[in-house]
């Protein structure tokens, strides 16, 4: 047996028992990012409980979205659908000042959520994700080239990963649109 055929046989045996390093590296980067996203999703769901409850309570009275400006009413309708909140039947008759008070409390709750969400996102540790992304950018092509034995194939389609940022998380999990009450 030649050295080349022994090497190829060795690589085939190794690859039959293990995932190639470049694939493990890509999988690890994705898993780390997904863990951060899941952490954010859980915290967001917890923090959204108050705005969801406040909006549901608002709609359980006879306060309608008409107390908000047009843009806010459209945005709140979209939020209702997104959150899958049941629309109340308008069980109480509120005076105009009470309706305005309910609307103001909803606005304050949305603002409070946005403040808490911004604070939370600033505490999310992206160091491990970014360490893995840096290593991916540095070693992925080399490891793939060792596995496929072709520099051209190894480089084909490779896109370096940018460092993860809080802005990436804000894009996935945006702030709530704070409604504006009609005057």
Pair 42, 124: CB distance under 8 Å: no
C-alpha–C-alpha distance, residues 168 and 174, integer Å: 10
Q: 84 vs 172, which has greater pLDDT?
A: 172
Tokens of 15: 């690859």
| Interhelix angle 21-60/96-123, nearest 10 degrees | 160
Q: Helix (H, G, I), strand (E, B), or coil: what is residue 64?
A: coil
pLDDT for the residue numbered 85:
78
C-alpha–C-alpha distance, residues 134 and 18, integer Å: 23
Calculated CA dihedral for residues 83, 89, 94, 97, nearest 10 degrees: 30
What are the Cα distances from residue 137, in Å, to 20, 26, 132, 141, 163?
Answer: 16, 10, 9, 8, 10
pLDDT for the residue numbered 31:
95
Helix (H) or strand (E) holding 96: helix 96-123
pLDDT for the residue numbered 44:
98
pLDDT for the residue numbered 80:
86
pLDDT digits 0-9 by tens, 113-160: 999 999 999 999 999 999 999 999 999 999 999 888 899 998 999 999
pLDDT digits 0-9 by tens, 36-93: 999 999 999 999 999 999 998 887 665 677 788 989 988 988 898 899 877 655 555 5
Q: 50 vs 98, which has greater pLDDT?
A: 50
């Amino acid at each position: 047996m030649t050295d080349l055929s022994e090497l190829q046989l060795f690589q085939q045996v190794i690859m039959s028992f293990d995932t190639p390093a470049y694939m493990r590296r890509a999988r690890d980067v994705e898993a780390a990012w997904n863990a951060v996203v899941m952490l954010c999703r859980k915290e967001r769901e917890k923090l959204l409980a108050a705005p969801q409850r406040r909006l549901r309570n608002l709609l359980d009275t006879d306060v309608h979205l008409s107390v908000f400006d047009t843009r806010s009413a459209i945005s709140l309708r979209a939020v209702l659908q997104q959150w899958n909140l049941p629309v109340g039947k308008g069980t109480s008759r509120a005076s105009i000042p009470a309706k305005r008070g309910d609307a103001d409390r909803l606005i304050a709750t949305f603002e409070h959520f946005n403040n808490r969400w911004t604070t939370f996102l600033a505490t999310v540790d992206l160091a491990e994700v970014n360490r893995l992304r840096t290593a991916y950018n540095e070693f992925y092509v080399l490891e793939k080239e060792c596995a496929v034995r072709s520099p051209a194939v190894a480089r084909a389609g490779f896109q370096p990963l940018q460092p993860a940022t809080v802005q990436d998380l804000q894009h996935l999990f945006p702030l709530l649109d704070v409604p504006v009450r009609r005057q």
